[in-house]
Amino acid sequence: MAKELTSRSENYSQWYNDLVLKADLAESSAVRGCMVIKPYGYAIWEKIQAELDRMFKETGHQNAYFPLFIPKSFLSKEAEHVEGFAKECAVVTHHRLKADPNGNGLIVDPDAKLEEELIVRPTSETIIWSTFKNWIQSYRDLPLLINQWANVVRWEMRTRLFLRTAEFLWQEGHTAHATREEAVEEARKMLEIYADFAERYMAMPVLKGVKSANERFAGALDTYCIEALMQDGKALQAGTSHFLGQNFAKAFDVTFVDKTNKIDYVWATSWGVSTRLMGALIMTHSDDNGLVLPPNLAPFQVVIVPIYKNDEQLAAISEKVNEITPKLKALGISVKFDNNDNKKPGWKFAEYELKGVPVRLAMGARDLENGTVEIARRDTLTKETVAIEGVETYINQLLKDIQANIFQKAFDFRTSVTRDVNSYDEFKIEIEKGGFLMCHWDGTPETEEKIKEDTKATIRCIPLEGDKTPGVCMVTGKPSAQRVVFARAY
Amino acid sequence: MAKELTSRSENYSQWYNDLVLKADLAESSAVRGCMVIKPYGYAIWEKIQAELDRMFKETGHQNAYFPLFIPKSFLSKEAEHVEGFAKECAVVTHHRLKADPNGNGLIVDPDAKLEEELIVRPTSETIIWSTFKNWIQSYRDLPLLINQWANVVRWEMRTRLFLRTAEFLWQEGHTAHATREEAVEEARKMLEIYADFAERYMAMPVLKGVKSANERFAGALDTYCIEALMQDGKALQAGTSHFLGQNFAKAFDVTFVDKTNKIDYVWATSWGVSTRLMGALIMTHSDDNGLVLPPNLAPFQVVIVPIYKNDEQLAAISEKVNEITPKLKALGISVKFDNNDNKKPGWKFAEYELKGVPVRLAMGARDLENGTVEIARRDTLTKETVAIEGVETYINQLLKDIQANIFQKAFDFRTSVTRDVNSYDEFKIEIEKGGFLMCHWDGTPETEEKIKEDTKATIRCIPLEGDKTPGVCMVTGKPSAQRVVFARAY
């Protein structure tokens, strides 16, 4: 089973694809570029959703739901937005099929052409701001803090499961504020929530920063982002939070009366993370044996595999399992007891390794006699035999250790491939090795564009934290305010 | 505020629409037939989702996600399905927009025409069974118990918020089984879950039955349903569960090897409930003052309104509220303390009445002196003054009483308008008064069709429980196996 995985060193991209398929996370569908998220993959996404949703609500946001379709004319209303978003998308032109008069199934009914085409939302700023216009009159209606869990579609030519698909699932926050300062604060706050979630739940270290103009969201004044680093040394943008200024308020004429009775346009933010996080999660921790899941997001954290020769032994083991399980559950630990008789223990071991279950317990007749159980941890692939008595406390601590360990491992890896680079010649050599390169840049789109053309590297972000020493651009020698992060990216 | 609602007796349909808008549940969007679900409405939907999702998982179902789009050719594969479903739907024909060379915004790029049109899913049997083909080989892969939470689109000419919209949210279960018996059992089990949910959470009594051939889902052998009765005497189909036989397995060539090594087609079910339940919930309980929510689905069950003349009084009341609130929360009761200084108590009373909050507490300076609080219940609009000491126990019981009371009220109403009708002349008179008419019918589509044409009434279901005495059809005089339920319906 696990043997069928291509190794990372052999072909990282193939390893990723193998893993997504064989661990039953997702697969391609009959519709080009659209994926099927399988139950095991979806269970991880549900965990991600639940934690984020809780964090959004704790910070005062409310969920709502807006239409799937956007009238074509809406997309042209915000000048920059249309450039970035309105191109590769699914266009609905008709609203009826009819039987083919020649008897070949169904055809589009030419009489059912829409007056105005509808676009399947690639993102919802336009439809939401057209709605906000009716919701906002006065400063008393602000701030308006809305989130939506939804599917979106962006037509993509080259797709990869989770990382880049035509349809994907995401959440998109859309907020409205009375002042610039408050909107910037909101955008920064949501960035902090994303970073906190990535680090504490996904066990994935992220850099917090702001995008250069080239990489900014179409229609934003500033795009804040969290950037993660995958094991192959490529960066992955894991979440973005945009300060939109008054652009969408102006495009949709959303004004409010402030406390001094003055009328002004509303200030906006939007922010989102998507099923792309699944790709980031997989690539941050997994190994050649399969998936490695952080305990905080694993659909089940512990699997118990009985090892028995006959029904009597299975009965005795089951009895012991029935004692342990409620104790684990009382500590909030999720457990699966796999007593499926069709599969051998060895097969099950490989299967749960492939699926990244953090802790595996194996219990046989001799364990029962000795009052012990064998515990294997997925992250280090090590085993120990421990006493059954009090095993729930042991496992509770072990899950915390695993969560901390895989974070630290990813953090150490990132540290090991993050380095300062001071000349463009050196940069061209170093970029081939992957990782984050911290470089001085003159702040111009032209220089960034040249670097991208020469090396396929982009500015992942201008870091918000860390070293702020000025210097000179590695390409042009012009002044640079601080080092920025370059990498090749997903 | 509440005064602005049209009364039910004046214009029921207008009352409903007013209520949905004024209680901030939903509104129409800029896209024809598509609604915006507002935060308060969405919070109720989230409660509905959470309970149903728990019930599905407890019965062994897993969530997954399938593509939004269905290739046009898939819809023609199941002969009956295409008749019922493939007509009024959103058709994607292109995948790109481009700038209008004449400078008028965006146009559809004629070079980006899809080879095969894609249909926005009206329901997912076809795309899911095309996927199941790869998931099922042997009886060991069965049963396969999958559910999906998703948006679907059915082009509708006449739309009403929640009740009939072009886009709506729903869950659709899709299961695969080795035998006919097991699939029928699954379809019946899910019907029971829907009925249980409707009665225990929505406090909405439902009849469980099976549809006549005319009303059956396109592609099903049997459609089981729950039917509710609205206050205007019209029926509302609140959920359906279909036994699909081997129709979709045959259409998509999904076979399996059984225990005796024989190859057979797989047996199927599908079942769903949608945001239509929101309409049912609203119309079952609400009154001329606004929404009446069952405590089991209210976004918050208790609202506390302080009545004060100065900051000192508010501080004293807040202190007391801070004592009560944790005690209520410890009992699992959700509470909102509305200390908004911009609104008067009277305004708040009307607002929470309109929004259907089950229990309202009002607390003033005199209450503090006396150690009392005023409690108003939304269902009966009655008030009582009770001791603050132990008020959490009182409220806990009160919420149970309200849940039981509104169910009983709806049940009694249904009973009062359900009657046996024995002649077609009588039927034509009685149907004008609304309600469920229990009548003998000869079992033919022709007779049902005639009744529908004459009176706009349809067979809501053939009840699974209750009186099974045979008789003669009220229209044709031919034999009838049992009385069936006629009504006009939403």
B-chain residues near A131 (CB < 8 A): 27, 29-30, 36
Q: Is residue B406 part of a domain?
A: no
Q: Residue B130: closest CA among chain A residues belongs to which residue?
A: A30
Query: Which segments of A308-346 are extended strands (E)?
Result: 335-337
The parts of chain A modelled with pLDDT lower than 70 are 1-3, 84-86
Contact A96 B155 (CB under 8 A): yes
Predicted pLDDT at B156:
86
Place of tokens 């039987």: A99
Dist. CA B441–CA B428, nearest whole Å: 15
Residue B73's domain is classified under what CATH number?
3.30.930.10
**Is there a single domain that holds both residue A218 and residue A138?**
yes
Among candidate residues A254, A276, A273, the one with its CA nearest the CA of residue A265:
A254
- Rounded to whole angstroms, how far apart are CA atoms B487 and B109? 49
Distance CA A418, CA A84 (A): 31
Q: Which of A38, A46, A91 sits opposite B97 (nearest CB)?
A: A91
pLDDT at B86: 62
Neighbours of A337 (CB within 10 A): 19
> Does a structural domain hold residue B455?
yes
Please identify among residues 140-169 of chain A the ones whose CB lies closer than 8 Å to any CB of chain B.
140, 146, 150-151, 153, 155, 167, 169
Across A351-376, b (16+ Cβ under 10 Å) vs e yields bbbbbbbbbbbbbbbebbeeebbbbb
d(CA B145, CA B122) in angstroms, rounded, equals 21
* DSSP character at residue B465: S
Alpha carbon B51 to its chain centroid, in Å, reads: 13
Q: Domain end: B401, B435, B451, which one? A: B401
Kindly state whether residues A305 and A430 are assigned to the same domain.
no
User: Tokens 């990813």 appear where?
Assistant: A410
Q: Which of residues 325-384 of A touch B (CB under 8 A)?
A: 342
- The pLDDT of residue B2 is 46
For β-strands B302-307 and B359-364, DSSP reports them as parallel
The CATH code of the domain that includes A449 is 3.30.110.30
Same domain, yes or no: B142 and B36: yes
Q: Which residues of B touch A342 (CB under 8 A)?
A: 140
CB-CB: which of A71, A108, A120 is closest to B93? A108
Q: How many CB pairs under 8 A join A and B?
A: 188
The type of residue at B446 is E
The answer to whether the pTM exceeds 0.90 is yes
B413 falls within a domain: no
User: CA-nearest residue of chain B to A60?
Assistant: B39
| Torsion from C-alpha of A129, A130, A131, A136, nearest 10 degrees | 70
Q: Is the same domain home to A307 and A340?
A: yes
Tokens matching residue B349: 């009373």
C-beta atoms of B127 and A87 within 8 A? no
Asked if A131 lies within 8 A of B36 by C-beta distance, the reply is yes
- From B71's Cα to the closest Cα of chain A, the distance in A is 7
Q: Let me know whether B193 and B314 are in one domain.
A: no
Taking the C-alpha atoms of residue B452 and residue B271, their distance in angstroms, rounded to an integer, is 26
Show which of residues 23-82 on chain A sit within 8 Å of chain B, judged by CB atoms: 27, 29-31, 34-39, 42-43, 45-46, 62-76, 82
Residues B309 and B265 in one domain: no
Nearest to A160 by CA among A272, A34, A296, A265: A34
| Structure token pair of residue B210 | 């099976």
CB contact (8 A) between residue A75 and residue B106: yes
Closest CA to B324 of B372, B270, B266: B372
Q: Is B233 in contact with B222 (CB distance < 8 Å)?
A: no
Of the residues A29, A48, A74, A85, the best mutation for testing chain B's interface (the one with the most B CB atoms within 10 Å of its CB) is A29
Domain membership flag for residue A112: no
**Strand runs labelled E in A317-435:** 335-337, 359-364, 372-377, 383-387, 418-420
CB contact under 8 A, A89 and B96: yes
Angle, vertex CA B322, rays to CA B320 and CA B327, nearest 5: 100
Q: Which tokens sit at A188?
A: 């920064």
Q: Which residues between 85 and 144 in chain B have a beta carbon less than 8 angstroms from any beta carbon of chain A? A: 86-98, 105-106, 108, 117-120, 127, 130-131, 134, 140
A164 with A54, same domain? yes
Angle (nearest 5°) at CA A175 between A171 and A178: 170
Query: What residues in A contact B108, CB-CB < 8 Å?
Result: 72, 91, 93, 117
Q: Which residue has the tokens 């470089």?
A: A439
Chain B residue whose CA is closest to A70: B31
Query: What is the spatial distance between Cα B175 and Cα B243, in angstroms, rounded to a whole number?
Result: 10
* B333 and B266 co-located in one domain: no
- Evaluated on CA atoms A277, A281, A283, A288, the torsion sign reads negative
Residue-range definition of the domain harbouring residue B428: 418-487
Q: Which residue has the tokens 């929101």?
A: B278
Pick from A366, A400, A434: which residue ends a domain?
A400
Residues A184 and A218 both lie in one domain: yes
With respect to residue B411, please indicate whether it lies within any of the assigned structural domains: no
Tell me: do A276 and A309 sit in the same domain.
no
Number of structural domains, chain A? 3
Enumerate the residues of chain B whose CB falls inside 8 A of the CB of residue A66. 29, 36
Q: Which residue, among A57, A100, A106, A254, would best test binding to B if mutated, counting the most B CBs under 10 Å from its CB?
A: A106
Interface test with B, best of A45, A92, A108, A113 (most B CBs within 10 A): A92
The shortest CB-CB distance from A87 to any of B46, B90, B96 is to: B96
Contacts of B62 in chain A (CB under 8 A): 39, 42-43
**Contact (CB, 8 A) for B480 and B441:** yes
Low-confidence ranges of chain B (pLDDT < 70): 1-3, 84-86
Strands of B6-143, DSSP E: 26-28, 35-37, 62-63, 69-71, 88-99, 106-108, 113-120
Pairwise CB contact (< 8 Å): B97 & A86: yes
Q: How deeply is A237 buried, as exposed, middle or buried, from its count of CB atoms within 10 A (0-12, 13-18, 19+)? A: buried
Count of residues in chain A: 490
Q: Look at the alpha carbons of A387, A390, A391, A396 in this order and tell me if their dihedral is positive or negative.
A: negative
- Which among B282, B188, B294 is positioned nearest to B239, based on CA atoms? B188
**Which residues have CB under 8 Å from A328's CB, separation 6+?**
A302, A335, A392, A395
**By CA distance, what is B72's nearest residue in A?**
A106
Residue A320 lies in a domain: yes
Residues A181 and A318 in one domain: no
Contact criterion met (CB < 8 Å) for A65 and B30: no
Q: What is the CATH number of the domain that holds A387?
A: 3.40.50.800
Choose the final residue of a domain: A400, A435, A452.
Answer: A400
Cis peptide before A143 (omega within 30 of 0): yes
* Residues of A whose CB is below 8 A from B88: 95-96
Q: Check whether residue B305 and residue B156 sit in a common domain.
A: no
- How near does any CA of chain A get to the CA of B467, in Å? 42
Give the DSSP H or E segment for B375: strand B372-377
pLDDT (0 to 100) of residue B1: 45
